Chain A
Amino acid sequence: MDKVKEFKVVNKSVDKIDSMQLALGKPSFVADLVPEDALIIKMLGSPHSHARITSIDTSAAEAMPGVHCVLCHENSPRHLHLTAGQGYPEPSPYDTAVFDYKVRHVGDRVAAVAAETAEIAEAALEKIEVEYEVLEPVLSIEEALRDGSPVIHDEPDVSHPLPVPFQPEKNIVSEVGMKEGDLDHEMETADYTFDHFYETPYAQHVPIETHVSFAYLDAADRVVIVTSTQVPFHCRRIVAQALGMDVKKFRVIKPRIGGGFGSKQEMLLEDVCALMALRTRRCCFWQLTREENFRYGRTRHPINFRLRTAMTAEGVLTGIGMEAVCNTGAYGGHGLPVVGCCGSKVLPLYRWKHIDFDAKVVYTNLPVGGAYRGFGATQAYFALESQLDEMGHAIGMDPVEMRLKNHIQEGEGSPVFAALGEGKAGVEMTIGSCGLSECIKLGAEEIGWGRRTLPEEKTGRYRRGLGLATLMQGSSIPEIDMGAASIKMNEDGSFNLLFGATDLGTGADTVLAQIAAEELGTTVDMMLVYACDTDLTPFDVGAYASSTTYLSGEAVRKAAAKVKAQILGVAAEMMNKPIDELTVRDANVVAADGSEVTFSAVAVYSLYERNQFQIMDVASHITHKSPPPFSAHYVDVVVDTFTGKVKVEKYVAAIDCGTAINPKLAEGQTEGAVMNGVSYAICEEYLFDSKGRMTNANMQDYHIHSLRDKPKIKTILVPSYEDTGPFGAKSVSEISINGAAPAIGNAIFNATGARLRRFPFTPERVWRAIREQSTVPSPSPEAVLSI
């Protein structure tokens, strides 16, 4: 706490710089910017989970008036690539063609049409004659790993850019693991041991804006792609790779994004838009329908866990064995990094001496897993924090005490950090800032933890339960991710701030402007932010891995420091004073004697008066740590034991994100993640028929929580200071989606004595668990009839 500093711009809740534009409904998103004469692209999606295309006849579609181009595997380039946007070379397989002769999940690409209108394009799709050899589908992890199971990626050109155990002939995308100490021995000798299985469901980000892109050729014959992407630079690289063309041929522009949450860390439409534009020389626009967004868009990877844990009679955690099998669906996507984060973002939270981590990623003929806020940690925290609750209960130890006793502290490390990276070893790290104990204490106070009673003490139909989960995440991928920024000064003392980082609605543009303004000694309204355009803005890996504030923010701070030095240099010349007597304050350069010149005067001097040059600089940043934010989540729920319905009444999230660069936006990140997590825990789940076809691919049947479903959410920002982050900041965006499932599961146990090891906690699932596991009496027929 004593490290917390006073700032002028940082740690202040300035208004989000693009929010008025958005509230007024100004044209801001990809679909708002499409030229009127653009051709409309529509896709023919596979009706089968697993099939080979034996013939495809597009001639009738091509002959239709108004149809300009039909693409399928027979007339598109084949350069296998990865659609997931990751650092290069990627820790994931090249297993995807622009169009393939095989389809691997319902909704997979078969063909696409570009036509004058959506109506014509849709009519043309119906004229495409496709014959399929339907293959046996692989619809579960167990089937994928069964001997003799159908091979999903049997194409001869499938490959992996990194030396990882990629075994497509066994439907295995990759494996990763680590060992520390001797867990097997610990499991035999410890005072208490636990061994349970957990499952997490298929779920989706459901951004309100579906995937959307358009592409056109500019006057210089280059392909300009305007797209809703979290990864503009990766997108440019992947499109070039997929089409077998040079990166220089493409320019990717990201306007405002209508929500991403990881779904748009993917090159999903842009290759087809670009190819259509090249073939037709017209602007080509493609937006997924909501149904396509569910079927063809990315999902949260379902992961099955076996979790073995050991502890002493005093509640000291000693050993953990996590086996995770991750279903990546039809393409490898983010499978390995996601399952790696089940270990790297989760196991270090407590001081285990004995660790076994063993994870596998498998292909199935189901929708494709992608990056989703929380990224593996979400799934693994459900297993870990549920089991921890059970361990405390077994010895009569309060869950709060259990966590305070065992969580990692400042100055401590974990063997996990060095062992687990992304497709390679990780980076050793000690914790530089940790406010978790304070989060746990403040959260307990806010939720009223003192009134918590044990399950056996409750009576009646409606039973109240309190639950807790503690969490950590990371901030950037150390020694892999890079962000860069440039700053240019204008004659009124304003600055153009350009970076490759991608604000997907989080407020990153505002936060980065605050960082620059703080360093430069000016105000946010003097920062003109532009991001992102691969022709103009410096490189950044994009919005993922909780990196933008911590990584890109430090690049911005460094660029601002370099520009500040140039400003001081010019001012020294103007004022005829030594540079080390000058400082910046309130958009002025101030000398030790109190004399000053304005930024505007400095800029005018540098542009027009003497020794003219452009005050401008660029800086890049990589990180050597991934400092975790920490959080304690508490819920207060009421379970209707007659119906199994769970109502979350209050949710408390106490979070240590270092310095909150913008406290209101940090709260907003937390509340949004919490609400998404609650919705995921209570009701979100892909449902499939026996052939692997999603049966609830619309927003009526796949419900996401509305205002009516919202509990009272209380966010508590617990300040700490991370020395390696810009002005002490760590990440905030992802961590808070991880708490709802375990905290609510623990609260259901506390209310009813029933332990659910699978969610969403639908009334049916909760009702069954109560009937099967607990002593809560069944309602009388009279009571049921009176409901």
Chain B
Amino acid sequence: MSVEKAIRIQLNGESREFNVTAGESLLALLRRSGLTGTKRGCEDGACGSCTVIMDGAAVNACITFAFQAHEREVWTIESIGEYDDPSPLQKAMVEEAGVQCGFCIPGIVMSVKALLDEIPNPTHEQILENLDGNYCRCTGYEKIEDALHRTIAETSGEEPQWTR
């Protein structure tokens, strides 16, 4: 067996310790720790379904080594919303029918959160840049854009810089 090493992650607001091997991805660590909302799609950094927020930036957990999260702050989908208190984007995704199979949605929610935390009312180009790495094969992205537009209007309190 490979050598294990202890790391500490500020995970969803709690300080957690894990033993990880050198080659273990952050995705594998999260999923074996019961945080299965972060999805495994390609393990190649292409599809974005494993997106989490690490120190404020959206990253693909599949191509991030677990040890890279040592002493850093990681937020996963489990920290965003609950049935009785969904995030504005989650609520909009449901009401605008942005969720079909739903496999990509946690990754999209995390990517968008990283963007809107930094830029509350982004340009369309900034949105494209942000979501270019999040594939959805079901929706054709139309209803996801609807949900995004509505969320930006609600959370920024401004008219979005792009039209639907």
Contacts and interface: CB of A to CB of B under 8 A. Distances in A.
A247 B35 CA distance: 35
A706 B133 contact: yes
B116 interface: no
A208 B93 contact: no
> Of A21, A504, A668, which is in contact with the most chain B CB atoms at under 10 Å from its CB?
A668
B43 A290 contact: yes
Contacts of B81: 23-24
Contact of B134 (A27, A706, A710): A706
A519 to B, nearest CB: 23
A706 B131 contact: yes
A507 B139 CA distance: 11
Interface in A349-401: none
10 contacts: A13-B97, A19-B94, A19-B102, A29-B39, A261-B137, A664-B97, A665-B97, A667-B143, A698-B46, A707-B127
B97 A699 contact: no
A505 B138 CA distance: 8
A36 B97 CA distance: 33
Interface string A482-519: 00000000000000000000001111000000000000
A64 to B, nearest CB: 12
A700 interface: yes
A674 B131 CA distance: 19
A211 interface: no
Contact of A259 (B40, B42, B77, B101): B101
Interface in A178-226: 205-210
Given A25-B37, A707-B128, A289 B142 contact: no
Kindly list the 9 A-B residue pairs having the minimum CB-CB distance in the complex, ordered from nearest.
A25-B37, A505-B101, A22-B102, A675-B140, A258-B103, A671-B140, A25-B77, A699-B46, A19-B99
Contacts of B36: 25, 27, 29, 31-32
A338 B106 CA distance: 35
B101 A698 contact: no
Interface stretch (B3-11, B66-74, B82-90, B152-160): B82-90
A238 interface: no
B133 A24 contact: no
B144 interface: yes
B100 interface: yes
B96 to A, nearest CB: 8
Nearest to A205: B137
A23 B97 contact: no
Scoring B101, B127, B133 by chain A CB atoms within 10 A of each residue's CB, the highest score goes to B101
Interface string B104-146: 1110010000000000000000011001111111111111110
Interface string A249-266: 000000011111100000
A207 B101 contact: yes
B106 A25 contact: yes
B135 A706 contact: yes
Contact of A668 (B90, B97, B105): B97
A436 to B, nearest CB: 22
B44 interface: yes
B83 A676 contact: no
Interface residues of A, number: 59
A668 B143 contact: yes
Contact of B40 (A31, A507, A671): A31
Interface of B: 2, 31-32, 36-44, 46-47, 49, 76-78, 80-83, 86, 90, 93-97, 99-106, 109, 127-128, 131-145
Contact of A675 (B31, B37, B141): B141
Given A698-B42, A699-B46, A707-B145, A20 B140 contact: no
A707 B99 contact: no
A704 B140 contact: no
Contacts of B80: 24-25
A119 interface: yes
Given A23-B105, A671-B141, A707-B134, 18 more contacts: A23-B109, A24-B81, A24-B82, A25-B109, A208-B104, A209-B41, A257-B101, A259-B137, A287-B40, A290-B41, A505-B102, A505-B103, A668-B100, A672-B100, A675-B139, A698-B46, A706-B141, A707-B127
A208 B136 contact: yes
A448 to B, nearest CB: 18
A18 interface: yes
A409 B15 CA distance: 67
Contact of B140 (A15, A29, A287, A713): A713
A699 B44 contact: yes
B132 A708 contact: yes
B39 A208 contact: yes
B101 A24 contact: no
Given A208-B41, A208-B103, A671 B46 contact: no
A665 B139 CA distance: 9
A59 interface: no
Contacts of B139: 668, 671-672, 675
A699 B105 CA distance: 18
**Per DSSP, are chain A's interface residues mostly helix, strand or loop, or mixed?**
loop
B42 A707 contact: no
A768 interface: no
A40 to B, nearest CB: 11
Contacts of A26: 37
Which residue, of B2, B42, B76, B138, has the highest number of chain A Cβ atoms within 10 A? B138
Given A31-B36, A257-B101, A505-B102, A24 B138 contact: no
A169 to B, nearest CB: 39
A28 interface: yes
Nearest to A713: B142
A16 B94 contact: yes
Interface in A700-731: 700, 704, 706-708, 710, 713, 715
A700 B46 contact: yes
Contacts of A676: 137, 140
A665 B86 CA distance: 21
A700 to B, nearest CB: 5
Nearest to A291: B44
A700 B81 CA distance: 32
Nearest to B142: A671
A699 B134 CA distance: 12
A620 to B, nearest CB: 27
B86 A208 contact: no
Nearest to B164: A712
Contact of A15 (B40, B49, B94, B145): B94
A208 B49 contact: yes
A557 B94 CA distance: 26
Contact of A506 (B42, B90, B100, B131): B100
Contacts of B143: 664, 667-668, 671
B145 to A, nearest CB: 7
Given A23-B109, A32-B36, A206 B141 contact: no
Contacts of B133: 706
Contacts of A32: 36
Contacts of B39: 29, 208-209, 258
Contacts of B41: 208-210, 290, 699
Contact of B47 (A287, A699, A710): A699
B103 to A, nearest CB: 3
A26 B35 CA distance: 9
B132 A20 contact: no
A27 B133 CA distance: 23
Nearest to B21: A119
A16 B102 CA distance: 11
B140 A19 contact: no
Contacts of B144: 707
Contacts of B138: 259, 505, 668, 672
Nearest to B38: A25
Max chain B C-beta neighbours (<10 A), residue from A23, A671, A673, A708:
A23
Interface string A658-674: 00000011011011111
A88 B138 CA distance: 30
Contacts of A700: 44, 46
A220 B109 CA distance: 42
Contacts of A698: 42, 44, 46
